[in-house]
Structure 1
Amino acid sequence: MAVSSLFSVLFLLLIISLFSTALTSIHGLNDHSSIQQVVSSDGHDDLLMSAYNQFSAFKEKYNKTYLTQEEDDYRFGVFMSNLRQARRNQILDPTAIHGVTKFSDLMPSEFRTQYLRFDGQIQLPNHLKTAPILPTNNLPTTFDWRDDGAVTGVKNQGQCNACWAFASIATLETAHFLANDQLVDMSEQQLLDCSDECTPNKRICNRGCNGGNHVLAYRYMLKVGGVQATKDYPYTGINGSCKFNNNKIVASIYEFNDIVANEDQYAANLYEYGTVAVNINGDMMQTYTGGIACPPCSGALNHAVTLVGYGSNRHWICKNSYGTNFGENGYYRLCKGRLTCGENPVAAFPLSA
């Protein structure tokens, strides 16, 4: 970064920093010890050079490069803004750890556009079967399908809005394992290229990297008979022409079930039948680095994840699709009560033949 350019950016950010510090003092908000990465080591706000050092370390860690010096300067400004956002998120969400992530050079609007365009507000198909109400009084205190070897490794959707495909495939992988005692890595790309299922009113459709819904993905699986393995239909992260070969199907489903919007029933069905695809609000995931997230309830359900288990106090263990360098080795833990507080929550799972 050129010296004059650096100092012009630092001067602007100094003004922002002082203003933000004043607001923090006015509202009685103090730095949280768990986000020392967001502030200087002595707790003061003269951290601009520290922020630039963090930005340099961030670029090295995540192999970030920018085409021009102007873009580098701009991303540094965004990075600095996201440090402030991480602090605000930490105050709102103290049981999680918020800080620098691989998304720290993205504006929140860019993060939402690139990673959270999930069509959660779906009108459920009339033929969708609702799972029966299960007893919940004898559930184990903690449970995790990974302990049984029923979950494939964390995958990475990249800058393709394919969370809907990853969540539906993850649940199929577990369902197939439970039915056949064989864990197979299955193809999300097949869904991206081939599934164009829509709701009856055509308002929501599976559109590859432009978003979709796991319920519609299950409907597609039923229609075509199943999915191929990843090795036969590898992931590219871009929309392509359909190359589905029904002679290479490795797994199929015979039905899929919706669960009533009750988290005790989510836990019971998870324990009884396998992993569950759910929709959540992912806005604060941009700064999440670990811990149990308990963000404010929001009506906007914009991301799909897979429940693989639950921990003490019924916090949820969510398999995400941002790669292993997100959160806790690719996982996101979410507190109880945050799966049913959004608008029209949908939890569903398939049963495999």
Structure 2
Amino acid sequence: MEQLEDTESYYMTFEQWVKKYDKHYDTEEVRDSRRNIWAEQSLKVKLHNLEYDTSKETGYRIQLTRWSDQEQAALLTAGDDVFDEDLLRNLPSVDWRVGNHVTEVKNQEENPVCWIFSAVSAVESHNKILNNELVVLSVQQLVDCINGGDQAGQVYQAFNYMVEHGCIREEGYPQTSPFVRGPCQTAKREVAVEVLRWKSVDISNHRNPEPEFQAAVTAGPVVTTLVFSSLDKLRDFSSMDNNEENIFSDPDPHNGNNVAHAVLVVGFGSQPNRRNDGIDHYWIVKNSWGTEDHLGFFKIAKDRGNQCQIASYGMYPVVRSTVGTGV
């Protein structure tokens, strides 16, 4: 990332920024639209740096860049992860639910198949980001057609299946009620989304993996495996008042059975801490336990020692849209 020469450069005007990066717009309408986006990014920069100046909790300053007039999705290129790594590490907040890039929460019920739900959710989101179409995909397809699809498994197994066989729309292969494994019935059902391959998040600093994980989440939702000392802690958390404002943390994740649970990380952000007038940072997690008890989407503490090992592991798909009705 370019280094600005002085503190005031963090707070340049739009006209100064346009001149610095030699920006040109085809019409006044486009210029006005980009200026509005730039103004939002400029405010985020100011707030982030103010927090750094007053508390040092963020650990770094950020600055306006040549991409500050673009929506976060516009930073991507179709089909792969071509983006400015430093920029993605330093965006103050991202929420892929904004713009309808994340499907509704589903319910795995009593089945230990979080690895399937999280992988399918990732494909849904990345397809929307790359192709601007939010297609709800079938989890029942994978449960029925993967050997052991109704048992505990690994996320890569779900991605490998989708790479080989593609994904059918949920309306063409709906989830059963009650949710149980059945015979594989993909014949005569068209593939709606193809998965070209999957990738692991490249973590080089295992002592502090969260900045690199943040860069990946900025480019699109990422599947990870949360490690808990007990899932009861997460269930107890769901009963707290004002749960949407609360941030989950496990003070001793290494004490217990170390239960693993696959989820989709769809963003990150920060909010005021009313107890000490500080700032709390969090990850936004999409779960697969239904929408009751506030655990459809919930927050996990960010930049606090890699809570629940959230950033130790991550996977995401590279997708290509195909023509298909799924029926």
Residue 333 of structure 1 corresponds to: 299
Write out aligned runs for 1:48-63 (5 A).
none
Residue 181 of structure 2 corresponds to: 239
The yes-or-no answer on 1:350 pairing with 2:308 is no
**CA drift at 1:342:** 4.2
The yes-or-no answer on 1:214 pairing with 2:181 is no
The yes-or-no answer on 1:254 pairing with 2:203 is no
- Asked if the contact 1:130–1:260 (Cα under 8 Å) also holds between the matched residues in 2, the reply is no
**CA drift at 1:285:** 1.3
| Partner amino acid, structure 2, of 1:302 | A
Counterpart CA distance in 2 for 1:228 and 1:324 is 24
- Contiguous gaps of at least 5 residues in structure 1: 1-128, 197-206
**CA drift at 1:142:** 1.4
Taking structure 1 as the reference length, what is the TM-score of the superposition? 0.55
Residue 194 of structure 1 corresponds to: 145
Counterpart CA distance in 2 for 1:327 and 1:338 is 24
What SS does structure 2 have at the residue aligned with 1:260?
Answer: coil
Counterpart CA distance in 2 for 1:278 and 1:310 is 14
Structure-2 change in CA distance of 1:246 and 1:349 (3 Å): farther
* Structure 1 runs of 4+ with >6 Å offset: 129-133
Taking structure 2 as the reference length, what is the TM-score of the superposition? 0.59
The CA deviation string for residues 162-183 of structure 1, in whole angstroms up to 9 with x for no partner, is 1111100110001111121110
Write out aligned runs for 1:170-319 (5 A).
170-196=121-147, 207-224=148-165, 226-236=166-176, 237-245=179-187, 247-261=189-203, 262-272=209-219, 274-282=220-228, 283=231, 284-289=233-238, 290=243, 291-299=246-254, 300-312=258-270, 313-319=280-286
- Asked if the contact 1:142–1:314 (Cα under 8 Å) also holds between the matched residues in 2, the reply is no
Report the aligned-residue RMSD.
2.7
The CA deviation string for residues 298-337 of structure 1, in whole angstroms up to 9 with x for no partner, is 3525101100110115411000011111325x11210124
**CA drift at 1:346:** 2.4
Structure-2 change in CA distance of 1:181 and 1:342 (3 Å): closer
- Contiguous gaps of at least 5 residues in structure 2: 1-79, 204-208, 271-279, 321-327
- Asked if the contact 1:255–1:352 (Cα under 8 Å) also holds between the matched residues in 2, the reply is yes
* Same amino acid, percent of matched pairs: 27
- Asked if the contact 1:131–1:257 (Cα under 8 Å) also holds between the matched residues in 2, the reply is no
| Partner amino acid, structure 1, of 2:168 | Q
- Asked if the contact 1:190–1:242 (Cα under 8 Å) also holds between the matched residues in 2, the reply is yes
Structure with the higher fraction of residues in helix conformation: 1
- Asked if the contact 2:88–2:218 (Cα under 8 Å) also holds between the matched residues in 1, the reply is no
Residue 28 of structure 2 corresponds to: none
- Asked if the contact 2:201–2:314 (Cα under 8 Å) also holds between the matched residues in 1, the reply is yes
Counterpart CA distance in 1 for 2:297 and 2:88 is 27
